[in-house]
Chains A and B, each alone.
Chain A
């Protein structure tokens, strides 16, 4: 089976680039040179630049991008009083996040002092709801959580992804790196097989990107809606016939940190729009 898959892939990779009209292929993409000497790639490119105009045009227009409907919902939640403390997230969030609001979207996942480990933005929000607001946590992939994370990351839109992977974050970073290169599932593939070795090539009719996560949460046509980074991880794992981990799993947080680091220097695009 694996052989057949590899043959199919090879064929479509060869046939692929012929009808590629993307900024990455025509040289108009924003290409970042990674500053970290440990970075495996010589160029870092947003998933946006691997898409054709039909997709990019929607992301470029906040009144055409359906992800904004979810971000609007997040904005309402942001100012809404909820929980036994009689507070809104807007009143308490910066204290919970340990960094200013307009920076949060570019530095999470991050080592959180109070938590004593690297955590995702979703986990900061739920920690804040439970401890500072006395409110129930949101479910990871709920419209409420997607809305609030989209709204918060949007406050950093246009600034550069800059997650820290040294010091107390080093262990999670190493774990994430290990996961990125580990073959899993019945197809026996790792993240790197597609997103490091074959970005810019077609896998069947899909143009592979570098798998950067600078636009999450994002609207995906495949989903007809907005989803989180962890949902995308789960989707990739199903594709290679591996068993997906639960949302918020420690390994997914580590993988999210590592993947975000690979995209350090890219602009935050949340809420992005993809196929």
Chain B
């Protein structure tokens, strides 16, 4: 913001030089992002290396997010949610943010159903992984990609 305000009072050549400098700063100052490996390591830690099944998890994520500051992430999991058969915890992870963790949720049979919805920050286009832990110690996961578009208009 500050920089663009300044630009309006200086010459174009100057402005271009400054933009170039800013570009270089961006290149050297790239923060480290998590990646698929970080998410895989995270999952391994949570599951203790157990095999993870597919299915039962329905994800509700936008294909394209018009801004990465608040992207809907919602899921529902088929489960009777009774005292002997319920989803204990759900972990939401992302492989393109500075760290893979987004949020985790603890469920109880009193809820009667297993779902949740929240909003997350996504630094760029990336994969979202949802890992569910059942009360019997088994795991399931689901994954989807969200494209994050970089806007043309600041302000």
Contacts and interface: CB of A to CB of B under 8 A. Distances in A.
Given A1-B16, A186-B8, A239 B154 contact: yes
Interface stretch (A47-55, A129-137, A172-180, A257-265): A47-55
Contacts of A203: 152-153
B38 to A, nearest CB: 26
A208 to B, nearest CB: 8
B155 interface: yes
B134 interface: no
Given A186-B7, A244-B5, A221 B70 contact: yes
A243 B7 CA distance: 9
By secondary structure, the B interface counts as: loop
A275 B16 CA distance: 28
A238 interface: yes
Interface residues of A, number: 33
A12 B154 CA distance: 17
Interface size of B as a range:
20 to 34
A239 B69 contact: no
A222 B152 CA distance: 11
Interface string B130-155: 00000000000000000001111111
Given A1-B16, A203-B153, A222 B4 contact: no
A114 interface: no
B64 interface: yes
Interface string A220-234: 011010000001101
A99 to B, nearest CB: 31
Nearest to A2: B12
Nearest to B72: A54
Nearest to B65: A54
A51 B5 contact: no
Contact of B154 (A55, A222, A243): A222
Given A52-B62, A55-B66, A186-B12, A206 B151 contact: yes
Nearest to B12: A1
Interface in B4-43: 4-5, 7-9, 12, 15-16
A52 B5 CA distance: 31
Given A205-B149, A222-B69, A19 B7 contact: no
B89 interface: no
B117 to A, nearest CB: 8
Q: Is the contact region of chain A dominated by helix, strand, or loop, or is it mixed?
A: mixed
Given A186-B7, A205-B149, A243-B5, A51 B155 contact: no
Given A243-B8, A244-B5, A206 B153 contact: yes
A52 B64 contact: yes
A199 to B, nearest CB: 13
A93 interface: no
A239 B66 contact: no
B71 interface: yes
B66 A238 contact: no
A243 B1 CA distance: 12
Contacts of A234: 155
Given A186-B8, A221-B67, A224-B69, A238 B152 contact: no
Nearest to B1: A238
A198 to B, nearest CB: 11
A204 interface: yes
Contacts of B4: 238-239, 241
Contacts of A12: 152
Interface string B46-84: 000000000000000010111101111000000000000
3 residue pairs, one from A and one from B, having the closest CB atoms = A235-B155, A204-B152, A205-B149
11 contacts: A1-B15, A1-B16, A12-B152, A19-B64, A52-B64, A54-B71, A221-B67, A236-B155, A238-B5, A239-B154, A241-B4
